[in-house]
Amino acid sequence: MDNSRRKFLKIAGISAVATVGAPAALNLLTGNAHASSGHGAPQAAAPAAHGAPAAHGEAPTGKRYGMVIDARKFHANPGLAEKCIEACHTNYNVPDFGNKKDEIKWLWKMPFANAFPEHSHYKKDHTVHSMDFLVTCNHCDKPPCVRACPTKATFKNKDGIVMMDFHRCIGCRFCMAACPYGARSFNWRDPRGSENGVPFIKKLNHDFPTRMRGVVEKCSFCALRLAEGKLPLCVEATGDTGAMFFGDLNDPHSDVSKVLQSKFTIQRKPALGTTPSVFYII
């Protein structure tokens, strides 16, 4: 076992708190969806019921949302990744503190070697290795961040989305230590502030709450949009390029399932056992 895997397994065992569900009804594409808003939490309702993950070998029940990212389509469409990031970060009031150290990211780019370090890089394919990969929270089916959180500020809802309740977050950052993908960001500074007269949030979206200093944030899989029957903003931003697919992984007839059934895909760090819900065509 290498050092990084040993460290990950150790951190992931910080807490044995079970994965929890949430009452928000997110029925994408059914047209009768609605979302409840417990605890004044903007990103999601507060967790209320313990989830019951299917035992190994059992047929999956309920929804499990997932995403497929076709990296070659992004490579063939320069600027498309930036368009997706802009759509996400603008809508969710993601602050830009102007430096890497304090960076808050819900969706960002990463070279192949960093995104998929467990893959062999011997005599590498130069196209793949020159490509940037869009990465985000993997909404893991077995999320170590959820197990590590002492306040249930992060939880898995009944549709398989790993959510944040910003009001419950005490900023302990256990979830950040537990996530092996760097998918969570911590607000070291006040996102509502400014520097030299330039606000950290350039264009405020009044329909989504801003966060406070000391709170962790990350991609929500656009859960509130799903509740309205809409696709995630990043997926929508790809238009008809076929660069991203989204849907219920447990529905064999969903677009995302059909793509997975017909294309060779990989996940990030699958050996860690987190079961990511984001897949890549390379």
Q: What are the residues binding ligand SF4 (CB under 6 A)?
A: 88, 106-107, 136-140, 143-145, 148-149, 151, 153-154, 162, 169-175, 179, 181, 183-184, 216, 218-222, 232-234, 274
Q: Nearer to ligand SF4 by C-beta: 68 or 179?
A: 179
- Provide the β-strand partners of residue 280: 69, 266
Using alpha carbons only, give the angle 177, 183, 186 rounded to the nearest 5 degrees: 65
Of 127 and 238, CB closest to ligand SF4: 238
Asked if 171 contacts 216 with a C-beta cutoff of 8 angstroms, the reply is yes
Beta pairing partners, 133? 110
- Least CB distance from residue 52 to ligand SF4, whole Å? 18
Tell me whether residue 128 or residue 140 sits nearer to ligand SF4 (CB atom). 140
Q: How far is the CB of 122 from ligand SF4 (least distance, A)?
A: 27
The neighbour count for residue 211, using CB atoms within 10 Å, is: 24
Shortest distance (Å) from residue 222 CB to ligand SF4: 3
Buried b (16+ CB within 10 A) or exposed e, 213-249: eebbbbbbbbbbbbbeeebbbbbebbeeeebbbbbbb
Which residue lies nearer to ligand SF4 by CB, 72 or 142?
142
- Return the number of the residue (197 or 227) whose C-beta is nearest ligand SF4: 227
Residue nearer to ligand SF4 on the CB measure, 13 or 194: 13
**Minimum CB distance to ligand SF4, residue 142 (Å):** 9
For residue 126, the minimal CB distance to ligand SF4 (Å) is: 28
CB closer to ligand SF4, 92 vs 200: 92
Q: Which amino acid is at 259?
A: V
If phi > 0 it is left, if psi is from -120 to 50 it is alpha, else beta; for residue 171 that is left
Give least dist CB 198 to ligand SF4, A.
23
